[in-house]
Amino acid sequence: MDGKSGGTERVHRPPPALTSLRERLRDTFWFAPTAGLVCVFVLWWVLSDLDTRIVAHLKEEGAYAELGDLLSFAVDARTIVTTVSAAMMTFIGVVFSISLVAVQMASGQLTPRVVRIFVRSRISKLTLTVFLTTFAFSLLVLTSYEGGAEPDPRRVTSAPLLQSLLTLGLVGLSLLLFVAYVSATLRLMQVGPVLDHITRESLRSLARQPGGAADEQPPGTGAVHVAHQGRTGVLRDVAVARLVRAARRHGVVLRLVPRVGDFVVRGTPVLAVHGGAAPPPHSLGHTLSVGVERTLHQDPAFGLRQLADIALRALSPSVHDPTTAVQCLDRIVQFLSVAVRLPLATLHHRDRRGDVRLVQEVPGWTDLVDLAFEEIRWCAAASPQVTRRMLAGLDDLLLLAPEERREPLHRHRALLVEAVERTVPGAAGRAFALRPDRQGIG
């Protein structure tokens, strides 16, 4: 897939299917714990076999004294293993109950979309996985003990030596992860780290998006439309490589009708086919991923949507927290300062021979600026802290933007000035509210 930017031509390879699979798994909370439980059963079986071989080897060598010392260690570790197996599930329940309350508070104060940060958090999944595997492994280890409180070295056939060591290691790892998990959960309740996380994810998504070419010719007007036959929901992901291959095989050009992030309904057109008949349904299967909510994988505008939502909630009369809105504007300006230098045009995905096979609409520069400032401006006219920060941000973006991208910035600046003049009655108050300040009011 080629894109032209600044007179140079770059080759953009479609992301592999594993990237989409990884993103889907990150949006689930069951995969990591399930994989951990499967692995722990396999590991227990392997260690049980090794423990049996160790005991058999020591008995063959006649090293009963060494075997007795190892059995004594296993018996001492049995108390710890028993305590762990009895307390771990209670510990898991208490920890994650508190965490869910913290997530609920964060979603109420900021935006419900913040829950996805907790769901996608690697430390949350790793902590739950280790806790569950420690509990399951300790139960399995208890089944490996034999011989009573003081087993006879000459009669035992197996002893959980390596299993006991691994259990102790898992207990230590659980304690370390508990500290890290609590720290991460507390950061989730703070505005700054949440905004920073959303911004970093948005910028990574923006960097993955290939540059469009504004001078490309659009496909012809005559088209055959392919209706959506899957589930109703939000278009989350597009398998670009599969669509390009399907279009190349059938000698057509495909145009994606909805944008990533649009809500699609069964029976509505999702693909327009130019230059021939529509490919058969089996060649277009599993090319569009539809879910219940948007993701940032191929939708960088969703990050701006979240930042704007947090700012709007902060400016609502029930919350009235303009400082949080200023922090959101800081991140919005950061995002737009990167996007202003990117070629935000319609994407023309090409096959190996350089022929356009898939046309995809993406949000342009004007769309991003409107998303960033339009709704906030409606709620910010009576808050001088926010208007001063918004003016400073628009002025900074005007310095960075090329001439052809300044029009929406000038428009939003003029609309903000008009809104303040209409809302603030006194001349002195208007002058104060219209003075650019990167901190709002210090």
As a whole number of angstroms, the distance between CA 270 and CA 278 comes to 12
Q: What is the pLDDT of residues 299-329, one digit of tens each?
A: 999 999 999 999 999 999 888 899 999 999 9
Calculate the dihedral angle through the C-alpha atoms of 246, 252, 253, 255, rounding to the nearest 10 degrees.
Answer: -70
Burial of 9 (0-12, 13-18, 19+ CB in 10 A): exposed
pLDDT at site 142: 83
For residue 378, what are the contacts with CB-CB under 8 A and spacing of at least 6? 419
Q: What is the pLDDT of residues 158-179, one digit of tens each?
A: 677 888 888 889 989 999 999 9
Given a cut of 70, whether residue 221 has pLDDT beyond it is no
Given a cut of 70, whether residue 222 has pLDDT beyond it is no
The residue to which tokens 């959960």 are assigned: 185
Q: What is the pLDDT of residues 230-273, one digit of tens each?
A: 889 999 989 888 899 999 999 999 999 999 999 999 999 999 99
pLDDT at site 101: 83
Given a cut of 50, whether residue 153 has pLDDT beyond it is yes
Domains of the chain: 24-189 (no CATH), 191-442 (3.90.1170.30)
Give CA separation, 282 vs 17, 285, 359, 381, in Å: 17, 5, 20, 53
Given a cut of 60, whether residue 7 has pLDDT beyond it is no
The residue to which tokens 């691994």 are assigned: 166
Given a cut of 80, whether residue 61 has pLDDT beyond it is no
Specify the 3-state DSSP secondary structure of 274.
strand
Higher pLDDT, 193 or 70: 193
For residue 356, what are the contacts with CB-CB under 8 A and spacing of at least 6? 216, 219, 253, 348, 349, 350
- Taking the model in full, what pTM does it have? 0.81
Which pairing describes strands 288-291 and 253-256: parallel, antiparallel, or unpaired? unpaired
